[in-house]
Structures are given as C-alpha cells and as structure tokens.
C-alpha cells in the first residue's frame, strides 16, 4: 500500500470508527421545559421501553414525558429520594429512599406502588443486573449493597463494601462495579455470589461519584469531585488515565454508538470525552448547561441527553448538622434541559 492509499484508508477508518470532535462539540441545550414543583432532586433515569423520564425528587419520583415535559404522575412516599432502576423482565421499577432506608417497588405499567423493602442506612444509587435478575442498592452510610429479588421485591442478601459507595454499573455478564467515594477506588462485585472480588485505586481521583461503562471494551468512567474523569480497564483492574472535567460532577454516561463519555457537572457544564481507542481518550467539548445540572440520563437511540436543575437563592443559615448548607431552591423553577447532538 503506497502513502496515498494509506492516507485514504486511514481517513476511511476514522470516519467509520466514530464521530469527529465537531459532532461532539455540536451538543447544545436544544429545549428547556419547566416541570415545577418543590424540593431537591437527585438521579434521573430514562425508561427506554415506556419512553418516560423518572426524576428522584426529595419525597417522590416525578414521571415525565420527555417529548413535551408533561408530568404524567408522581410516585409518592419517599424520604430523600435518590436512585431509580428498571427490571423490565419483572415489570417492576425500584426507587431508593435514603432517609428511611427503604426501597419502593412500583409497577412499570400502572406506576402504582407495590411495596417497600428495608435496605440499609443511606441507600442511594440502585441498579438492575440482568444476569442475575436482581436489584442492588448502594448504601453510603452503611458501606454496603443490599440485594433484592426483582420479581418478589424481597431482600435476599447484603454485600459488605468496606467503604461508602456511590454510583454502580452492571457489565451485563454477572459483574458489577461501584465507586467507593471515601477510598477513591472502584470495587468489582460478583453479582451471583454477592461478594467483592477485586478493588483498585483511582488515584489521583478523589471522591468518585458518577460511573458509566463501555461494555464492549470493558472500560469504566468515574466522575471525580477533584475535576477529573478516571478511566479504568475493568478487565485488568487498573486505572488507564484521567481527563479534566468541570466542577461538581454527580453523573456520568457512555454512548456506545458514538464512543462518547459524558460527565454532568454542577458548575453548569457537560464534559464530553471521546474514546479514540481502548487506551486513548480526549476531551472534545465542554458544553454549557445550567448551574446545578449535575445528574443526567442518556438516550442511546437518539444520543440525546437529559438533565435537570432549578434557580437558586441564598443558602439557609448554617447549623451544627449542616455547617455549609446548600443554596435554597426557588420554588416552581425546576426545569428539564434536553441536549441534542
């Protein structure tokens, strides 16, 4: 192959393999839709079957039509709502309630509450593992994961993690991965045996929160509070590299169709990282969102991103329990942001 042929072939491979940096830079806030209502929020989850967006909202879960921002209904009875997971085979959804250590199970068709299961203090992130058909909650204060049968909603086990977990992901083959926030590490879990099998450091990452996975290449993307994304080789159990991101990250996502990883940052940015290859990564965009838009959900079919935030007022006076209170939320300003590529 001569030099001209090699150059042409290289260009063709690049075009087939993934998007150009320009396509990533084209991400922008295409629509904003006022949802309203009072209270804080946490995770956002996209129901890809029912085409609905679920938002954990302090004492409830808001169910929203992402096409027009209409609030379809609310799932009540939570106390410091955190995460949402869907077990489509069982027809059940699950939402964690950190202040009372419970998990609410609801019907995915009717959205009616079916029951409650006791997890452990500060149950936060939650995921469904299709290999074992189990729900796993990650309990910050309890330093554990609670395992729940997705069909019955019954608690079937506890996994001791030895540190405070944040977000977790399923690799789809019976392995789970979870960020250990106070250790700056990732733990690998055997979902069937319900035990930790490995752990590795993410240093220089500090306080990893959001987590995403590239299942095809066994790569993990941990959003860290010291403004880096730590990228790991899950097969080898080691850190590959870190990429700079915005401040206040709380959510990460990976799009296998575009090889783009995202971190949603509370400073009002969305950092976009392109996976050029299994060991090569680069930041291709920092998209302006809005202050407080720290969690996200990705639609892998449309490549659209959803995030939420509100307007903020002054913080309340400090107390011994909350020496650095967060800014107050202006009632009625809660908003859905839709980012298109």
Tens of each residue's pLDDT in the chain, 341 residues? 544 444 443 433 333 334 444 456 689 999 999 999 999 999 999 999 999 999 999 999 999 999 999 999 999 999 999 999 999 999 999 999 999 999 999 999 999 999 999 999 999 999 999 999 999 999 999 999 999 999 999 999 999 999 999 999 999 999 999 999 999 999 999 999 999 999 999 999 999 999 999 999 999 999 999 999 999 999 999 999 999 999 999 999 999 999 999 999 999 999 999 999 999 999 999 999 999 999 999 999 999 999 999 999 988 888 888 888 888 899 999 999 999 99
- Alpha-carbon distance 197 to 234, whole Å? 12
**CA 138 distance to own-chain centroid:** 13
pLDDT at 42: 97
With H, G, I as helix, E, B as strand and everything else as coil, classify residue 24: helix
- For residue 24, what pLDDT is reported? 64
Nearest by Cα to 286 from 43, 33, 28 = 28
Note the pLDDT of residue 239. Answer: 98
Architecture of the domain spanning 23-40+206-341: 7 Propeller (2.130)
124 and 165 in contact (C-beta within 8 Å)?
Answer: yes
Strand pairing category for 304-309 and 335-340: antiparallel
Report DSSP state, residue 20. Answer: -
Q: What is the dihedral of CA 210, 62, 310, 67, to 10 degrees?
A: 90
Q: For residue 273, what are the contacts with CB-CB under 8 A and spacing of at least 6?
A: 221, 229, 231, 243, 245, 260, 261, 262, 263, 281, 282, 283, 284
Region of 2 (left: φ > 0; alpha: ψ -120 to 50; beta: rest) is beta
Phi-psi group of 194: left, alpha or beta (phi > 0 → left; psi -120 to 50 → alpha; rest → beta): left
CATH code reported for the domain at 41-160: 2.130.10.10
Domain ranges of the chain: 23-40+206-341, 41-160
Nearest to 340 by CA among 55, 24, 52: 24
pTM of the model: 0.91
Q: Which phi and psi (to 5°) does residue 250 adopt?
A: -145, -5
Backbone φ/ψ region at 240: left (φ over 0), alpha (ψ -120 to 50), beta: alpha
Q: By the 8 A CB rule, do 72 and 79 touch?
A: no
- Name the E strands within 70-112: 70-76, 81-87, 92-97, 102-107
Residue identified by tokens 């299942």 is: 215
Edge to edge, the sheet with strand 81-87 lists 81-87, 92-97, 102-107, 113-118
């Amino acid at each position: 192959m001569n030099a001209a042929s090699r150059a042409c072939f290289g260009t063709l491979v690049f075009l087939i393999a993934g998007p150009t940096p320009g396509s990533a830079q084209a991400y922008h806030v295409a629509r904003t839709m006022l949802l309203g209502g009072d209270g804080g929020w946490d995770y956002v989850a996209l129901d890809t079957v029912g085409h609905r967006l679920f938002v954990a909202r302090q004492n409830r879960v808001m169910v929203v039509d992402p096409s027009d921002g209409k609030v379809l209904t609310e799932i009540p009875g939570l106390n410091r709502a955190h995460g949402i997971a869907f077990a489509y085979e069982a027809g059940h959804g699950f939402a964690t309630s950190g202040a009372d250590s419970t998990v609410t199970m609801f019907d995915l068709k009717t959205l009616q509450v079916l029951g409650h299961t006791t997890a452990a203090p500060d149950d936060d992130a939650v995921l469904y593992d299709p290999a074992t058909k189990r729900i796993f909650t990650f309990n910050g204060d309890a330093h554990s994961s609670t395992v729940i049968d997705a069909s019955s909603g019954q608690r079937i086990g506890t996994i001791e993690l030895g540190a405070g977990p944040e977000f977790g992901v399923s690799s789809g083959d019976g392995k789970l991965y979870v960020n250990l926030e106070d250790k700056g590490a990732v733990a690998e879990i055997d979902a069937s045996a319900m035990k930790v099998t490995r752990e590795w450091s993410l240093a220089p990452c500090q306080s990893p929160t959001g987590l995403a996975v590239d299942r095809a290449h066994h790569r993990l993307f941990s959003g860290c509070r010291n403004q880096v994304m730590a990228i790991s080789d899950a097969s080898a159990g080691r850190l590959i590299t870190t990429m700079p991101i915005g401040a206040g990250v709380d959510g990460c996502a990976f799009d296998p169709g575009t090889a783009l990883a995202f971190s949603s940052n509370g400073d009002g940015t969305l950092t976009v990282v392109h996976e050029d290859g299994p060991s090569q990564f680069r930041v291709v965009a920092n998209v302006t969102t809005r202050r407080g838009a720290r969690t996200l959900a990705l639609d892998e079919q449309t490549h659209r991103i959803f995030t939420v935030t509100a307007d903020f007022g002054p913080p309340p006076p400090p107390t011994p329990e909350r020496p650095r209170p967060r800014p107050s939320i202006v009632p009625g300003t809660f908003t859905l942001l839709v980012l298109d590529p």
